[in-house]
Amino acid sequence: MSRVYNFSAGPSALPVEVLEIARDEMLDWHGSGMSVMEMSHRSKWYDDIIKKAEADLRELMNIPSNYKVLFLQGGAYTQFAMVPMNLMKKGKADYVNTGAWSKKAISEARKYGKINVVASSEDETFTYIPELNPDTFSLDADYFYITTNNTIYGTRYTKLPETGNVPLVADMSSNILSEVYDVSKFGLIFAGAQKNMGPAGVVAVIIREDLISDTALEVPTMLQYKVQAENGSLFNTPPCYSIYICGLVYEWLKKLGGIPAMQKINEEKAAMLYDFLDNSSMFRGTVHKKDRSLMNIPFVTGNKDLDAKFVKEATENGLVNLKGHRSVGGMRASIYNAMPVEGVKKLIEFMKDFEVNNK
Ligand SMILES: *Cc1c(COP(=O)(O)O)cnc(C)c1O
């Protein structure tokens, strides 16, 4: 068996230790005589698994007791609709457009109310986070929406907008658990698991209790936060196995020292790669320095053929999935929590050699 360094943006690498535990528990979970995939979601065993996962996520993110944690299906994409369906009461919301995922959230929300796009960085292909002027915020908005980390472009907010009494809603799909956030600053956080938290098939929603209310009769039962919250994410069959793996990832993170320790490692990994890019005569990063992501690092040589050659040769050397998103081109190294420091070092070594060999 040989494992590659997988720089995929998502689904992405999982910690080897987590995969090993899943392997060891595959046929017989804790003496149950069956796999987690085979057990009833109403069993005592599964109840332990989902409750432990929630408790560990609460501990890791220091989630206040007046927030509910939900494990839902439909991916982050379904949250683009669930957020307005459930939170739109007065019919107005503010959005910041920082890329493809924000745009999709905006167009979905437009089906449910009036959307005010307070700022956008589309003029420069989303290579920065726009300056936000609170004077342009709607005081009567039902919520204010941001994407904390922009997976495709490699930008992230380093400062959260001050939205006063208007609840802040965040799509944290690609940087949840990567750095410390004060959950109490948010009304709602959601994150698809398959970037930085586990396998595809589950999305975590962290929602302040006062935002959970009755929704219009037309809202499908499965898409009501209230129903999901009242049933502890077990209204119907949840994505049992994905939640179990997320739980193992949470345990792995706790053992490592929690999010502060993880953040430190992430900052070191990102700094190594940015440092190299800033001093390279061949490669350069594409994002404004102040807004650089710790998770997704796009870079280019400035020559399409050379970019393609780089991706090909990197793959041959066990450094895979470095091709940039089709809308941006070039390369992108996604270095989520599960990417070891060693993987980033290997990538930099390879880039150095490539630079020398292709002068
Ligand atoms: C990947 C991604 C999504 C889409 O996630 P799905 O689970 O595929 O719906 C949404 N937002 C961000 C920031 C992402 O990185």
Question: For residue range 317-338, what is the model confidence (pLDDT) as tens digits?
Answer: 999 999 999 888 999 999 999 9
* 156 ligand 1 Cβ < 6 A: no
Backbone angles phi, psi at 70, to 5 degrees: -120, 145
Nearest CA to ligand 1 atom 5: 76
Domain with CATH 3.40.640.10 in the chain: 16-255
* 10 ligand 1 Cβ < 6 A: yes
pLDDT tens, position by position, 183-237: 999 999 999 999 999 999 999 999 999 999 988 889 999 999 999 999 999 999 9
Percent of the chain scored above 70 by pLDDT? 100
Which parts of 121-244 are beta strand (E)? Answer: 143-147, 149-150, 155-156, 168-171, 188-192, 203-208
Q: Which residue has the higher pLDDT, 2 or 25?
A: 25
Domain with CATH 3.90.1150.10 in the chain: 259-357
Nearest CA to ligand 1 atom 12: 173
pLDDT at 306: 97
pLDDT at 249: 98
* 195 ligand 1 Cβ < 6 A: yes
Q: Which of 78, 151, 178, 294 to mutate to test the pocket of ligand 1 (most atoms within 8 A of CB)?
A: 151
CATH of region 259-357: 3.90.1150.10
pLDDT at 215: 87
Percent of the chain scored above 90 by pLDDT? 96
Pairing of the two strands 155-156 and 114-120: unpaired
Q: Which listed residue (56, 171, 291, 307) is catalytic?
A: 171
Residues belonging to the chain: 359
Look at the alpha carbons of 209, 157, 267, 295 in this order and tell me if their dihedral is positive or negative.
positive
| 158-183 mean pLDDT | 98
| 91-115 mean pLDDT | 98
Task: Please state, rounded to an integer, the average pLDDT across all residues of the chain.
Answer: 97
pLDDT at 325: 93
Pairing of the two strands 284-285 and 296-300: antiparallel
199 prior amide bond cis, ω within 30: no
Does domain 16-255 fall under CATH 3.40.640.10? My reply is: yes
What letter represents residue 114's amino acid?
A: K
Q: E strand or H helix at 54, and its extent?
A: helix 44-61
pLDDT tens, position by position, 46-68: 999 999 999 999 999 999 999 99
Query: For residues 37 and 315, what is the distance between their CA atoms, to the nearest angstrom?
Result: 33
101 is catalytic: yes
Angle at 249 between CA 342 and CA 75, to 5 degrees: 110
195 is catalytic: yes
* 173 ligand 1 Cβ < 6 A: yes
Q: What is the distance in A from the centroid of ligand 1 to the CA of 193?
A: 9
24 is catalytic: no
Look at the alpha carbons of 99, 101, 102, 108 in this order and tell me if their dihedral is positive or negative.
positive
* 75 ligand 1 Cβ < 6 A: yes
Query: For residues 144 and 164, what is the distance between their CA atoms, to the nearest angstrom?
Result: 10
| 125-153 mean pLDDT | 97
In angstroms, what is the C-alpha Rg of the chain?
A: 21
* 171 ligand 1 Cβ < 6 A: yes
